[in-house]
C-alpha cells in the first residue's frame, strides 16, 4: 500500500514539489551562509518524494548557539511559510475520505518544515 501511495503522491504533485525544494536548496547552497539551509531544503525535497511508509524521527537537537540561531533563522525566513502551506494542503486533502492518507503525509511535513535541523524522515 505504501508503494501505491507513493506513486499517487508523485503523480499528483510530490515530484514537482520535491524538485522545487531541491532546486531552492541548490540555489541556497551558492552562498557559504546558505549551505546549511540549502542542505535542509534538499532534505525536505527527498522527504517529499516518498513520504508513505516513513515516520518523522527526532534526532539530537542543535544545542549550541549557532544551531539555535540557525533554527530561529530557518523558522522566521522559511519554515513558517512552508509549514503553513503543508497545513493548508492537509486541510484541503482532509475534506474527502480518499484524501485522508495524503493529509496525514502533509501533516508529517509540517514538523519537518518548521524544525528540519532537529528532525528526519526515516
What's the CA gap between 19 and 13, in Å, rounded? 10
pLDDT at 60 over 80: no
pTM of the model: 0.86
Give the side-chain half-sphere CA count within 13 A for 14. Answer: 19
Q: Which has more confidence, 31 or 64? A: 31
Q: Per-residue pLDDT tens for 110-122?
A: 988 998 887 888 8
Contacts of 39 (CB under 8 A, 6+ apart): 25, 29
pLDDT at 51 over 70: yes
Domain enclosing residue 54, as ranges: 2-121
What's the CA gap between 11 and 32, in Å, rounded? 34
Domain count of the fold of the chain:
1
Amino acid at each position: 500500500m505504501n508503494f501505491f501511495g507513493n506513486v499517487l503522491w508523485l503523480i499528483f504533485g510530490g515530484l514537482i514539489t520535491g524538485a522545487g525544494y531541491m532546486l531552492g536548496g541548490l540555489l541556497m547552497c551558492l552562498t557559504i551562509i546558505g549551505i546549511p539551509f540549502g542542505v535542509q531544503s534538499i532534505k525536505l525535497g527527498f522527504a517529499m518524494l516518498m513520504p508513505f511508509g516513513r515516520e518523522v524521527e527526532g534526532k539530537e537537537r542543535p544545542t549550541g548557539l549557532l544551531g539555535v540561531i540557525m533554527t530561529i533563522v530557518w523558522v522566521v525566513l522559511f519554515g513558517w511559510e512552508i509549514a503553513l502551506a503543508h497545513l493548508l494542503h492537509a486541510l484541503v486533502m482532509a475534506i474527502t475520505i480518499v484524501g485522508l492518507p495524503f493529509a496525514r503525509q502533509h501533516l508529517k511535513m509540517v514538523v519537518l518544515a518548521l524544525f528540519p535541523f532537529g528532525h528526519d524522515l526515516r
